[in-house]
Chains A and B, each alone.
Chain A
Amino acid sequence: MKQSRFFRNIALGIENLLLHKLRSFLTMLGVVFGVGSVVAMLSVGEGASKEAMEQIRKLGSNNIILTSVKPVEEEGTSTTRAVMSIYGLTYNDFARLGESYPAVRSLAPVKLLRKESRLGSRAMELRIVGTTYAWFDLVPREIVAGRVLRAEDEERFNPVAVLTEYGARRLLATQSTIGQKIRIGGDTFEVVGIIKSESGQAGNMQIPDQDVDVYIPLRVARRYFGDVYTQYSAGSRIRERVELHQIIAQIDDIEHVEATAQAIERMLERFHRKNDYEISVPLALLRQAEATKRTFNIVLGSIAGISLLVGGIGIMNIMLASVTERTREIGIRRAIGAKRKQIIIQFLIETIVLSTIGGLVGIALGVLTPVLITFFSGMPTVVTPLSILLPMIISIAVGIVFGLYPAANAARVDPIIALRHE
């Protein structure tokens, strides 16, 4: 009974709005565009921040990433022939990290090399990472075939190689390549596995997957190839000595990440005369990204608020005009026995129906827009339930807030005066 009456009120409200189709439509537009732009903006913002956060999260929020950086002053002198620049993280740094920080649970070293290589009849320069089994714990990757590096490879100086998908593709390696020999530099390695690569840019914090072809044990890399890297470019020879290009440290507890990062930084400052390293803390970046997102949401919220306010005022304006125009109708209803409350409900329902339909249309528009944006520009967009629910609730609230005053005006109409007025 109560419920059927509720729906009847709504039906009557819609009936009344349909009497003035164009006017109702125009009244709605404010809310349509307000809500539409909110939904669209939220989904674009959500898409952008989600991508950034995912990348950061992939780096591991428990990790601290140290990277060797060629100091600025070195770059100047390196143009002089036959000068060797020595910089970057050292084996000693690595050892100290393992010994003096109880919060460090696990450490993965990274040494980058480029060597002429050959698999079967295919020869090319491969991009090589010398590391330990710990790497595969810290940067988990799916195994396509075979296995990843093990502790024993390190201990026994096993000349084994794990290909990335990128490397396998370049070398035309397949699953049947497992167990075959690959020549790297002047030495022979056994291919023991192929791992899946993650697509996507990891920024400059961690060596991106697409820049690595093969992983070999660090100690093997050191023994076979040494730490000096010679590059010939534009007729000049550039020699560099870098022990480790990167160290990834995993911290036992997210609570310890920032303090440990500071302690490590102090230690490195003490042992490095030059500014030849960089510390990145994905957690800090994550926090920063979250803060940025919050700011973004506040800005969006304000824009949304203003546009909905404008939409609401539009509705209120029309409803006030409608009340004046319908003074006589109100008088008739009151004379027949309608209570003030019922007049208020009648007008309030009309406003809420207007703003709700406006909201629904706006949501449809706002959901369609990001789809088109993604389709035409490739920008990622994410429509979350919240970015639909919130504008919906707000548009209903707009109806209530901006409908109350006109409805109260309607209820104040004196039936005697209203009936006299022609």
Chain B
Amino acid sequence: MTTTQNGDIVSLHQARKIYQMGNQQVRALDGVSVSFSRGSFWAIMGPSGSGKSTMMNIIGCLDRLTDGHYALEGQDVGTLDDDDLSERRLRHIGFIFQSFNLIPQLTVQRNIELPLYYLGWEAEESAARALELARRVGLEERLNHRPTELSGGQMQRVAIARALANDPHLLLADEPTGNLDSATGVQIMQLLEELYDEGKTIIMVTHEPDIAAHARCRLHMKDGRVDRIEES
């Protein structure tokens, strides 16, 4: 399934992810067919356990489908091996997590530089890039701090800077405001909207309708299936 021509950055076809728990099957994804076009801003919603995170892991190349197809930037990812999946994550995807997932021992600068390290950038270039990104999220003063010295909102901004370091087309955010108060959450959403305006594709999981309202399209999941889609 090559779908380069239609410009979809993510395209799932009859996607199934089944977990075998003893003799019980958990159908985390149960035949999902959906496409997200380049430069769109999606919110994925749905009750707990409906398969939102599972879908994000698949899209993020952290996991593989049990059945069905997934094409990232027009290329089928289902047949790739572990190294190739790592390569996709490294070059095409930026992750933003609910719990920030910064490495506590490393400074803000080192955290932002992490993808660049694996991309093989030289030290000076990546330091310059880290400074540029820290400025972008308003944290250039904090480059030498450790994540534990930052507030939740600041940590999430560092995480966004890190997600942007490799200049990905696709940003995946699983409940990015889940651990933040609503005012800070709004700041983060403004940042994501700016990135959307710059042409990034953003897929975001959220429970909160206020947050989902920032997205341009909404996809509702239920029991591992697409329940309904709202496009505005």
Residue positions of A touching B, CB distance < 8 A:
4-5, 8, 16, 19, 328-329, 331-342, 415-416, 419, 422
Contact = CB atoms under 8 A, between A and B. Distances in A.
B180 interface: no
Contacts of A416: 57, 62-63
Contact of A336 (B57, B83, B89, B123): B89
Given A5-B120, A19-B105, A342-B118, A336 B63 contact: no
A297 to B, nearest CB: 44
Given A340-B83, A342-B118, A335 B101 contact: yes
B105 to A, nearest CB: 5
B41 interface: no
Contact of A334 (B86, B115, B162): B86
A335 B115 CA distance: 10
B8 to A, nearest CB: 22
Among A4, A337, A341: residue with most chain B CB under 10 A: A337
Interface string B98-120: 01011101000000001100111
Interface in B123-147: 123
A328 B101 contact: yes
A331 B116 CA distance: 17
User: Which 4 residue pairs across A and B have the least CB separation, nearest first?
Assistant: A337-B90, A337-B89, A339-B86, A332-B101
A4 B117 CA distance: 12
B149 to A, nearest CB: 15
Contacts of B97: 419
B122 interface: yes
Contacts of B119: 337
23 contacts: A4-B122, A329-B103, A332-B101, A332-B102, A333-B103, A333-B118, A335-B95, A335-B101, A336-B89, A337-B87, A337-B89, A337-B91, A337-B115, A338-B90, A339-B86, A339-B87, A340-B82, A340-B86, A341-B83, A342-B118, A415-B62, A416-B63, A419-B97
Contacts of B62: 335, 415-416
B60 interface: yes
User: What is the interface of chain A mostly: helix, strand, loop, or mixed?
Assistant: helix
A332 B97 CA distance: 10
A224 B91 CA distance: 104
Given A329-B105, A338-B90, 17 more contacts: A4-B122, A8-B123, A19-B105, A332-B101, A332-B114, A333-B103, A333-B114, A334-B86, A336-B95, A336-B114, A336-B118, A337-B91, A341-B83, A415-B62, A416-B57, A416-B62, A416-B63
Nearest to A411: B82
A422 B89 CA distance: 22
Contacts of A4: 122
Interface in B26-58: 57
Contacts of A329: 103, 105
Nearest to B101: A332
A332 B105 CA distance: 13
B86 A337 contact: yes
Given A16-B105, A416-B62, A416-B63, A335 B122 contact: no
Interface string B74-88: 000000001100110
Interface string B187-213: 000000000000000000000000000
A160 B162 CA distance: 97
Given A329-B103, A415-B62, A416-B62, A338 B122 contact: no
A339 B101 contact: no
B80 to A, nearest CB: 12
A337 B97 CA distance: 15
A377 to B, nearest CB: 48
B101 A419 contact: yes
Nearest to A341: B83
A337 B90 CA distance: 4
Contacts of A415: 62
A342 B87 CA distance: 12
A181 to B, nearest CB: 87
A413 to B, nearest CB: 12
B96 to A, nearest CB: 11
A341 B86 CA distance: 11
A16 B123 CA distance: 17
Contacts of A419: 97, 101
Nearest to B174: A419
Nearest to B172: A335
B73 to A, nearest CB: 15
Contact of A337 (B102, B118, B123): B118
A416 B123 CA distance: 29
Nearest to A419: B101
A19 B120 CA distance: 24
Given A19-B105, A422-B99, A335 B60 contact: yes
Nearest to A422: B99
A4 B121 CA distance: 11
Nearest to B111: A332
A304 to B, nearest CB: 35
B95 A339 contact: no
Contacts of B87: 337, 339
A132 to B, nearest CB: 79
A172 B115 CA distance: 86
Contacts of A338: 86, 90, 118
Contact of B89 (A8, A16, A335, A340): A335
A16 B117 CA distance: 15
A5 to B, nearest CB: 7
A337 B102 CA distance: 14
